[in-house]
């Protein structure tokens, strides 16, 4: 039987693959349906096409998350009855369209106004839209795991699982370890930026191993930020992480 860490890593890999494929399809739609010289006129058709791509990918994402939840539970030898899976729903249409509008036409217009060429602005909008797509797709899986964990009477909370080369922000959040369920934290949300490939995994015992490199990041945070706080601590951690990778 695979370990819980192996199950979580494979799940993260599959979610990354899924969101990457969705982003590639969105890029095709961006390049073929959104005319940088007729942004307002071509946006509605483009947005409808992209919304369907993201909706399809999110449906796959929640199914991956449900399968992962069960497999991860078994790997941790938690054999009590599995709670009803809390599959994440669709993104409200207005919210998704606003995201596509901001990362596409609005960004392109702003870049042109600041002196970028139409080609540079179009590339900037495309990149921003790709990163937003990754967040929209992966969040379906994250919300499913978090929601199911909230229903699971044996789950104490959840932990962030980063990829092997996370940004300093995600590494910093992972360094904090599991987020335990309390009356205060119920309903709170961890921040996930556009392009973020992090997933979450349930935690059942305080002795459960932290997923991925979270313990290493916790040690790095402790060493790098001794005597510091606030923005100074964050900057020190970022420099330490960059130095470790150089």
Q: Is 222 exposed, middle or buried (0-12, 13-18, 19+ CB in 10 A)?
A: exposed
Q: Identify whether 241 is part of a domain.
A: no
- Residues in CB range of 60: below 8 A, 6 or more apart: 18
The H or E element that residue 27 is part of is: helix 4-33
CB atoms within 10 A of CB 93: 12
Residues with pLDDT less than 50, the chain: 183-187
Q: Identify whether 48 is part of a domain.
A: yes
- Residues in CB range of 220: below 8 A, 6 or more apart: 171, 175, 237, 240, 241, 244
Between CA 136 and CA 193, with CA 10 as vertex, the angle to 5 degrees is: 30
Beta strands of the chain (E only): which ranges? 157-161, 179-180, 199-203
Predicted TM-score (pTM) of the model is 0.91
Q: Identify whether 97 is part of a domain.
A: yes
pLDDT of residue 180: 81
- Residues in CB range of 31: below 8 A, 6 or more apart: 126
d(Cα 105, Cα 32) in Å, to the nearest integer? 14
Q: Identify whether 148 is part of a domain.
A: yes
Q: Identify whether 233 is part of a domain.
A: no
The three-state secondary structure class of 157 is strand
d(Cα 30, Cα 25) in Å, to the nearest integer? 9
Q: Identify whether 38 is part of a domain.
A: yes
Domain range for 20: 4-159
Number of structural domains the chain divides into? 1
Q: Identify whether 100 is part of a domain.
A: yes
């Amino acid at each position: 039987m695979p370990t819980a860490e192996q199950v979580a890593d494979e799940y993260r890999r599959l979610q990354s693959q899924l969101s990457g494929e969705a982003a590639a399809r969105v890029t095709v739609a961006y390049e073929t349906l959104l005319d940088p010289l007729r942004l307002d006129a071509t946006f509605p058709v483009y947005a409808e096409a992209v919304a369907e791509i993201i909706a399809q990918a999110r449906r796959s994402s929640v199914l991956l998350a449900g399968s992962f939840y069960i497999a991860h539970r078994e790997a941790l030898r938690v054999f009590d009855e599995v709670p009803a899976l809390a599959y994440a729903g669709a993104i409200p249409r207005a919210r998704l369209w606003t995201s596509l509008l901001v990362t596409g036409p609005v960004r392109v217009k702003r870049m042109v106004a600041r002196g970028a060429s139409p080609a540079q602005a179009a590339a900037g909008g495309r990149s921003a839209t790709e990163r937003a797509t990754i967040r929209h797709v992966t969040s379906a899986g994250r919300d499913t795991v978090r929601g199911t964990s909230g229903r699971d009477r044996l789950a104490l909370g959840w932990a962030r699982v980063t990829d092997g080369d996370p940004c300093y922000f995600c590494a910093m959040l992972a360094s904090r370890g599991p987020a335990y369920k309390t009356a205060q934290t119920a309903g709170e949300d961890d921040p996930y930026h556009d392009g973020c490939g992090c997933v979450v995994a349930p935690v059942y015992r305080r002795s459960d191993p932290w997923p991925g490199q979270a313990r290493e990041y916790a040690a790095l945070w402790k060493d790098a930020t001794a005597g510091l706080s606030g923005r100074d601590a964050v900057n020190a951690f970022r420099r330490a992480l960059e130095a470790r990778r150089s």
